[in-house]
Amino acid sequence: MQVNNLETLFKKTLATSKLTAKQQAVLQVSLNLFSEQGFDGTSTSEIAKAAGVSEGTVFKQFKTKAGILEALLNPVLDDVLPMAAGEFLTEMNQSDLPNFQQLLQYMIADRMKFVLENQKQIRVFAQEIIRNPKIIQTLQVRAAAMIKGEAGDFLQQYKDSGQLVDWPSGRIIQYLLGTIISYVAPQVLLVPTKDFDIQQASTEAAEFLARGLAPQN
């Protein structure tokens, strides 16, 4: 498990960007305002005021308002799909195929953590996927490729070893995503509760999914 801090994605973006302090302020403030008010509901004038810069500065680096949005969303798009399955194994320090429920719990915790640490980006992302279907189409194509490739092979090992029901891999991934979303959505949509326990939530979710995805009797 990576040692992540709150909003690690955004901080990573800033750390690698070589942006001036003012440009970083523009990005930070834009993230806050977009996640609260929406992209169209936020004006460049507002961004400038909140960042303590002139309105011209808002456009210097990012050229357009949409350029700011792109700078905020691209890291999310890169990371929102889970990392390759093999990397989970490496992080779990397992050379062998782990117990399926354990793997589930690990993966679920990882994705929950990702969402909870990057809530503002996820909010902006969620608004944008509704307004701009191309984004979700791109992700769908990526997800399909993963399912046909390494992730599908990975799941197949579990099916072959009698730990996983022999349903299409896409269907299995779908339920995984649906269950994770059912836990994280309240945190993203409402004032997040400080007492969300990733360990407990992911254990519960893994328990449910392991039962639902157990091989046929």
Residues forming the site for a second copy (CB under 8 A): 37-41, 123, 126-127, 129-131, 133, 136-137, 140, 171, 174-175, 177-183, 186, 189-191, 204, 208-209, 211-214
CA distance 129 to 190: 19
Ordered DSSP codes for 85-147: HHHHHHHTT-SSPPPHHHHHHHHHHHHHHHHHHTHHHHHHHHHHHHH-HHHHHHHHHHHHHHH
Partner that binds at residue 159, options DNA, a second copy, none, CB closer than 5 to 8 Å by kind? none
Q: What share of the chain is helix, strand, coil (3-state, %, to 5)?
A: 70, 0, 30
E runs forming strands in the chain = none
Total number of residues that touch DNA (CB under 7 A): 21
Binding track, positions 2-21, relative to DNA; x by CB under 7 A = ------------------xx
Partner that binds at residue 186, options a second copy, DNA, none, CB closer than 5 to 8 Å by kind? a second copy
Among 11, 12, 22, 113, interactor with DNA by CB under 7 A? 22
**Residue 149 DSSP label:** T
Binding track, positions 66-95, relative to DNA; x by CB under 7 A = x-----------------------------
Find the shortest distance in angstroms from Cβ 154 to DNA: 43
66 or 177: CB nearest DNA: 66
21 or 191: CB nearest a second copy: 191
* Positions 30 through 59 that interact with DNA (CB under 7 A): 42-46, 53-57, 59
CA distance 121 to 32: 9
Find the shortest distance in angstroms from Cβ 114 to a second copy: 17
Does the footprint of DNA cover residue 132 (CB under 7 A)? no
CA distance 25 to 22: 5
Helix and strand counts by DSSP (H, E) for the chain: 12, 0
Q: Which two tokens stand for residue 68?
A: 């700011």
Residue whose token pair is 């195929």: 97
Binding residues for DNA, rule: CB under 7 A, are 20-23, 42-46, 53-57, 59-61, 63-66
